Structures are given as C-alpha cells and as structure tokens.
C-alpha cells in the first residue's frame, strides 16, 4: 500500500483499490468498516470489552476480507488472534498507523543494532549499564524498597524503576497488589531457512491463507526468515515438522523452492513473546506508581494504552520517568502526544 494524492484518511484509497487479492465487494466492505473507525475510535466505550472479531462481524465483513486484509495486519501488529484481541487495539492500529495522518504509516529503521543505539555513550553522561546482572531479589524496609540484589551485591538508590516483564515482577515482588492471573502470554515463532540457491528476489512478502504469515529475505534470496505471530498452533509441533510445513507453504508461492534443498534451518519458538492484549485487560494494567513510594513500573504490559509493542514500551518508560520526577517533587513531562 502506498500513499496516493488524496488527503487522510483516504490517502491509501488508490492503492487499496488496486489490491489484487480482494474482490470488489470485499474492498467495498473493508472501506465501509474503515470509514467507521475515526468516529468509533473516539466515541465508543465498549471497544476494550469486545474482540476485534466481534467488531468485524458487527461491520459484516466477508470472511475473505477478514482472512486476507484484517487478519494479516492485525495478528502481527498486536500478536494476538482476532477472536482474542480487544477491538480497542485493533482499531488503534488502523487509526494511528493508517488513517489519522497521511504519513503515520512511515517507520524509522535503526541502521545500527539496538545495543549500539542504546549504549552508555549514546544515552549520555552518568549512565552505567551492567550487563549479565539479573536482579535476584528486592529488599523492603518500612514500606520502601531498600535495595536490589544482583550477583551477590546489594544495589541501593533513591528511586527504582522496573522494566521487567510481568512474570518476573510477580516473582520478585509478589507483594504488589496486581491481579497477576489476568496476564497471559502470546507466542511468536521465527523460522530461519537457508536454501542452496536463491528462491526469491522479493525483499519481503505476506503469505495469505497460510500458517506462515511473513517472509523476510535476509540474504540474497537464499536465507529467508519466516514469522508466525500468535503461534499457539505451532508450540506443540516439532521443529522438524514446522520447517517441513514452512517449506511446503513457501513452495506454493515461490516455485524455485521446489527445486532447492534446505541447507540448514532454525526454529525459534518464543512462548512468552508478548503479553496477550485481550479484552478487559486494560483495567488491570498497572500505572507506573506502586504502593512503594520509591518503586515504579515500566514495561509494555503496564498501562500505556498500547498493545505489546516497542512504542508501548517506550511510552511506559516516559510515564515511569514522569512518576519519578513527581515523587522527587520536581515534576516533568516526557510523554510525546500520540499521532492521532
């Protein structure tokens, strides 16, 4: 999809109408539903309680439009199935990423690894990063955090911000009054395949109506990375079985795969890849402030209003930093307004 000459929210119209994998009546149905998003996103109060599939059925979306348009975009953006994802997050993806502004779909790509981007030098003075130093305990004294245990050391500070995933916070600080049971994980599976010859010259592709969702050409059309979000169906399957399935599905789209041999393959099942952005979860996501006046929570799973994304994680960091400055009687604002 490319931006055309029409203003937002119709800037994708020309490109969308040209999509070859949707029939005309499916495009009309998708456009009708898209047209409802700007007003419903602001005005409806039940979007966190219903699933995205409920919303799509309410908008009478044909099955092919769901399978070939809504599903591929949303399952990878939110890492959840349509029948399990809160409609609020589904609409948010389309509103912020596609409809609100004509350039809001554009992305910045770091040209260096994150480790370099967020090095001590990159972050500024007075920053020290301790690698391989997991926190193994959190000490409490008189209702405050008095220190963190790591590698047999006690680390003391005025204020502490946790950016751990929810299951680690629960293990380290079970005293926090958070309804841990409502938080669940959603898996992602990555499949890396090296062929003995180039099988494609596409930089990337979405495989419609298949288990494999995305293909990324990592090197010369010979090394392909495949991604399956919300991959619960693959968690029990053997790695060999997953590679076989992936090669079979790829060969349906890329005929050269039929003539090629697999030189090596890796399957990475991330069972705890992200939290599941299911309906009614937002009310349970904690704010940065906790019952401990010198301890704050960040992380994509906290109350950011976003599903499990890097944007959500970054916003949680800004919110935690704001909470620390409030606790230190020197409040500052860091959060950048949403684009929509």
| Minimum distance from residue 184 beta carbon to ligand FAD (Å) | 15
Task: Map the footprint of ligand FAD across residues 184-213, applying CB under 6 A.
Answer: 188, 190
Which stretches of the chain are assigned E, i.e. beta strand? 135-141, 144-150, 153-155, 160-162, 185-195, 204-206, 214-219, 223-229, 262-275, 295-297
Those residues with Cβ within 8 angstroms of residue 105's Cβ, 6 or more apart along the chain or in another chain: 1, 3, 97, 98
Q: Which residue, chain included where needed, has tokens 């499990």?
A: 308
CB of 293 to ligand FAD, least distance (A): 22
Q: Does 165 bind ligand FAD (CB under 6 A)?
A: yes
The one among 3, 27, 168, 185 contacting ligand FAD by CB under 6 A: 168
Q: Would you say 61 or 231 has its CB closer to ligand FAD?
A: 231
Q: How far is the CB of 131 from ligand FAD (least distance, A)?
A: 10
Q: Quick check: 273 binds ligand FAD (CB under 6 A)?
A: yes
- Give the separation between CA 3 and CA 9, rounded to whole angstroms: 10
Q: Can you tell me which of 26, 40, 249, 300 binds ligand FAD, judged by CB under 6 A? A: 300
Q: Does 308 bind ligand FAD (CB under 6 A)?
A: yes
Indicate whether 163 belongs to the interface with ligand FAD (CB under 6 A).
yes
166, 275 contact by CB (below 8 A): yes
**Residue 73 within binding range of ligand FAD, rule CB under 6 A:** no
Q: Among candidates 191, 169, 186, which has minimal Cα distance to 178?
A: 169
Among 299, 304, 321, 323, binds ligand FAD (CB under 6 A): 299
Please give the Cα distance from 176 to 148 (Å, whole number): 16
- State the Cα–Cα distance between residues 156 and 147, nearest whole angstrom: 5
User: For binding to ligand FAD (CB under 6 A), which residues are involved?
Assistant: 134-135, 163-165, 168, 188, 190, 270, 273-274, 299-300, 308-311, 313
């Amino acid at each position: 999809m490319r931006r055309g000459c029409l203003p937002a929210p119709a800037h994708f119209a020309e490109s969308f109408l040209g999509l070859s994998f949707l029939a005309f009546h499916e495009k009309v149905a998708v456009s009708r539903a898209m047209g409802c998003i700007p007003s419903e996103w602001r005005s409806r109060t039940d979007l966190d309680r219903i699933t995205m599939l409920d919303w799509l059925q309410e908008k009478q979306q044909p099955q092919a439009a769901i399978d070939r348009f809504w599903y591929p975009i949303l399952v990878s953006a939110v890492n959840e199935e349509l029948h399990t994802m809160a409609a609020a997050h589904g609409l948010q993806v389309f509103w912020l990423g596609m409809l609100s502004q004509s350039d809001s779909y554009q992305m910045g790509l770091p040209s260096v690894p994150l480790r370099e981007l967020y090095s001590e030098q990159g972050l500024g003075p007075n920053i020290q990063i301790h690698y391989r130093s997991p926190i193994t305990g959190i000490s409490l004294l008189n209702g405050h955090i008095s220190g963190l245990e790591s590698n047999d050391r006690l680390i003391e500070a005025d204020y502490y911000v946790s950016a751990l995933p929810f299951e680690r916070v629960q293990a380290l600080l079970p005293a926090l009054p958070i309804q841990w049971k409502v938080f669940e994980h959603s898996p992602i599976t990555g499949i890396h395949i090296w062929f003995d010859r180039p099988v494609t010259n596409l930089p990337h592709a979405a495989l419609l109506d298949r288990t494999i969702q995305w293909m990324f050409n990592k090197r010369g059309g010979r090394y392909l990375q495949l991604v399956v979000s919300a991959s619960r169906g693959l968690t029990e399957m053997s790695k060999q079985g997953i590679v076989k399935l992936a090669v079979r599905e790829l060969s349906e789209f890329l005929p050269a795969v039929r003539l090629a041999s697999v030189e090596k393959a890796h399957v990475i099942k991330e069972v705890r890849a992200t939290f599941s952005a299911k309906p009614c979860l937002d009310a349970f996501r904690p704010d940065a402030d906790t019952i401990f006046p010198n301890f704050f929570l960040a992380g994509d799973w906290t109350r950011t209003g976003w599903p499990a994304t890097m944007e959500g994680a970054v916003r949680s960091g800004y919110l935690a930093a704001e909470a620390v400055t409030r606790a230190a009687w020197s409040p500052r604002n860091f959060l950048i307004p949403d684009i929509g």
